[in-house]
Structure 1
Amino acid sequence: MDLSGSGNETISHLLEPGNGRITIQFNAFTGPPKIVRLWGHGRVLECGTEEFATFVNSQEVQTLPGTRSIIIVDIHQVGSSCGFSVPFYDFKEYRPVLNDFFEKKRQKFEAGNASESMDRYWAYKNAWSMDGLPGMRRGLLAGKRDNVVPIEKMVGPLVTKRYQGGRGVAAEHVLLIALVSFILGIMLAMYGPGLVELVQAFDASRLKNTIAHVSL
C-alpha cells in the first residue's frame, strides 16, 4: 500500500517508459545481522481506477486515509547479504501523524472545503517526481483541470534539467536549436541561389518529360 506524502518517486519511476524496476529491502534490526532484498518489476494500481478497486475488494485490503495506490511487484530475484553494519533498533510504536493528517483533510473536504480535496493535494505534490518525470495520473489530470501549479521539489545549482515533464525546455536544447539554426542560416546564405537554380532546373526538366509523355 502506497500512502500519500510529499514524495512521489516510486510511482514516477515505475511508470517511466523502459523502467519499472523496483527493489524491496528488509533489514534485521534485532537478532542476527541480515539484509534481504527482493528485485522485481512493479505495477501501479492508482486510487480511483478500476484496477485499484478490484484489487482492494478481492484481497479485502483495509485502506488507510490518504492511500494513493497499491504497488504490485512481480519478483524475479531474491538475495540476502550479511548486514554486519546494520545497527540495532528497538521498535517503540507507530506514528499516527500521517493517518491523522489525511483523515482531517478528508473530513474538511466532505464538510465542503474543496481546497482540501486529495486531487488537489496530488496535483500539487504528486504529479511530478523530483527530476520532472510524470507521476500520479490523477494528479496530472487534476492539475490541468483545476490549474494547480506543482511544487518545485528541487532548487539550487544541482537541479537536473534533463527532464522537464512538459513544463519547460532544457537550456541545452535551446542552445542546440540556436546552433542548428545558425548553421542552416549560413548554408542558405552561401548556397541559397544555387539551390534555387537547381530546383528550377529540376522542375523544368520534369515539366518537359511530362509534356513529352502526354504527347506520346
Structure 2
Amino acid sequence: MGVYYENIPESMIKWALDQKVFWVSTAPLSGNGHVNVSPKGGPYFGIPDNKTFWYIDLTGSGNETISHLLEPGNGRITIMFNAFDGPPRILRFWGKGRVLENGTPAFDEIVAREKIQLIPGVRSVIVVDIHQVGSSCGFSVPLYDFKEFRTTLNDHFARKEERYLQGNEKESMDRYWAYKNAWSMDGLPGMPRGLVAAKKYSVEPIKKMVGPLAPKNGVGTRAELHISYIVIAFLVLLVALLAATHPAFQYFSAQQSIQEIMLQVRSMSGGSPSAIGLPD
C-alpha cells in the first residue's frame, strides 16, 4: 500500500543510506524526447536533511540527466530505491534537480560541506530538492544477495587521469566530456564544461542517435520546427495574399460587409441607413 510524505521520514533515512544501488529517472520537456533511467551504485550519495538528496555524478558515455536538469523550465527528477534483502520496500523521491559541475564554486562548497570523497571521473554533484516522498510495498521485487561493488569504471578513469598527468593531453577529462557529454541524445546541451571544451579543442561530438529521426545537436526536441507547422504557416500566408489581391475574395469580402450592414439594420428598431456606420 502506497504512503506519501512531504519529507523523508526519519525512519527511512538510514534504510536509504544503507542501500547499494538506486535509480535516477529524468526526461526532456518535449513529448518527442526520450525518458532516461540510470542505475547508480556505490557509496556516492547522501541525505543531509529530510528535504534534500545528493549523489556524485560519475562520468559515463551518456549525460541525459544533466541535459534534462539544465533544460530551461525542466529540472524534474525521480530517485528510486528497492529493498533487495530484508523486508520489502520501494522508496521514491520526487523533486527538482540541480547540477553542481566540477570546477565551479558550488561544487567545491558542497564537497567541503558534505565531506565528499572525490575520485577520478567525477563530473558533478547532483542535488535533489525533494517535494514528495512515496513508499510502497515492493512485494514483487526479487531478493538478491549483495556481493561487491564493481570497480571497472573507477579503475578506467584512474588510469586515464594517470596518463593525463604524465603528459598525454588527449586523455584529459575535458576532451572526453566534449566528445561524449556535451549533448544529449535528443540534441539538448549537456555539460557546460564539455561544450566549452568542444569549442576550445575543436572536438566533434559523438553521434548518439541514428536513423532519419535523429535530431541535430543544438536543435533539441523543443526547438525543432515540425514540418506541419511550416505547411500551416504557408497556407495562412497564401490565403491572406489571395484575400488581398484576388477578385473573387474581394467580392466575397464586399458581400460579407453588405450582409453585416443588413443585420445591423434589422437589429435597430426604426433605424435608418443614415444611422449605420458604412465601411470605408
User: Shared fold by TM > 0.5?
Assistant: yes
Gaps of 5+ in 2: 1-55, 246-280
Q: How many Å separate the matches in 2 of 1:177 and 1:147?
A: 34
Query: What is residue 81 of structure 1 aligned with on the other side?
Result: 136
Would you say 1:57 and 2:75 are equivalent positions?
no
Report how many residues are paired: 191
Q: Percent identity?
A: 61
Residues 189 and 217 in structure 2, CA contact (< 8 A), matched pair in contact too: no
Q: Structure 2-normalised TM-score?
A: 0.61
Structure 1 residue corresponding to 2:88, chosen from 14, 33, 36 = 33
Quick check: which one's helix share is greater?
A: 1
Deviations 1:25-75 (A, max 9, x none): 010001222101011111110001111112112322111110000011111
Task: Give the AA of the match of 2:145.
Answer: D
* Correspondent of 1:131 among 162, 186, 196: 186
- Write the distance in 2 (CA, Å) between the matches of 1:49 and 1:148: 22
After the TM superposition, which parts of structure 1 deviate over 2 Å for at least 4 consecutive aligned residues?
169-173, 175-192
Q: Paired residue for 1:15? A: 70
Letter in 2 for 1:138: R
Larger RCO, structure (CA 8 Å, separation 6 or more): 1
As a proportion of its length, which structure holds more strand? 2
Corresponding position: 1:93 with 2:148 = yes
Change (3 A) 1:113 1:36: same
- The separation in 1 between residues aligned to 2:76 and 2:232, in whole angstroms, is 37
Q: 1:25 to 1:2 in 2, by over 3 A?
A: same
Q: What is aligned with 1:203? A: none
Tell me what 1:172 maps to: 226
Normalising by structure 1, what TM-score? 0.77
Match of 1:116 in 2: 171
* Residues 188, 219 of structure 2: 8 Å contact kept: no
Distance 1:189 1:21 in 2: 47
Inter-partner Cα distance in structure 2 for 1:38 and 1:108: 39
Matched, 1:104 2:143: no
Instruction: Give distance in 1, aligned partners of 2:243 and 2:77.
Output: 54
The RMSD of aligned alpha carbons is 2.7
- Which residue of structure 2 lines up, in the alignment, with residue 4 of structure 1? 59
- TM-superposed CA distance for 1:151, in Å, is 0.9
Distance 1:114 1:166 in 2: 31
Q: In 1, distance between residues paired with 2:109 and 2:78?
A: 25
